[in-house]
Amino acid sequence: MKIKHIAFTLYPVKNMARARKFYEKVLGLKMGKNYENAWVEYYPGGTACFAISTMVPQVKPSSNVAFEVADLDKAVKKLAAAKARLVAKPYETPVCRFAVYRDTEGNSFLIHAKKRA
């Protein structure tokens, strides 16, 4: 078996309206496809698919998806103003900075920014 690429990243959600409000209003993602409001897809950056769905069981702990931002500090301030649940404060590595949050359904996600050269 050879993996060609990642088809999508999926987060299970219990409350689609609440989850959509978070991802669309707080994170600013634009909905790409909506299948009967049970499976909703977003294409941040144009190609990679991030989906949320009420059709799959909740599995804990959830996996992480990292959303790339241009300015981590600005994103952290926006998430704080929206009262997003911070899991790990901004952390610096040799190549990037990131912070970890939880969405309204308990899934964790990263806000990630590459270091400027």
Residue 67, in any domain of the structure: yes
Q: Establish if 2 belongs to a structural domain.
A: no
Overall domain count for the chain? 1
CATH of the domain at 26: 3.10.180.10
At residue 90, what are phi and psi to the nearest 5 degrees? -50, 135
Q: Determine the Cα–Cα distance for residues 77 and 16; give it in Å rounded to an integer.
A: 25
Locus of tokens 């959509």:
20
| Domain assignment present for 88 | yes
Instruction: Supply the pLDDT for residue 61.
Output: 57
Q: How far is CA 12 from CA 9, 47, 74, 98, in A?
A: 10, 21, 28, 23
In tens digits, the chain (117 residues) has pLDDT values of: 575 677 788 888 999 999 999 999 999 999 999 999 999 999 998 888 999 988 866 655 566 788 889 899 999 999 999 999 998 899 888 777 889 898 998 888 888 888 776
User: Dihedrals φ, ψ of 51, to 5°?
Assistant: -125, 150
pTM equals: 0.73
Q: Give CA–CA dist 75/15, Å, rounded.
A: 24
CB contact set of 28 (below 8 Å; sequence gap of 6+)? none
Q: Which residue in 51, 56, 12 sits closest to 33, CA to CA?
A: 51
| Residue 3 resides in a domain | no
Domain residues for 50? Answer: 9-114
Residue 4 maps to a domain: no
pLDDT at 59: 57
Q: C-alpha 98: how far from its chain's center?
A: 13
For residue 1, tell me if it sits in a domain. no
Residue-level pLDDT at 3 = 59
Domain contains 85 = yes
Amino acid (1-letter code) at residue 65: V
Instruction: Identify the CA nearest to 27 among candidates 92, 94, 109.
Output: 109
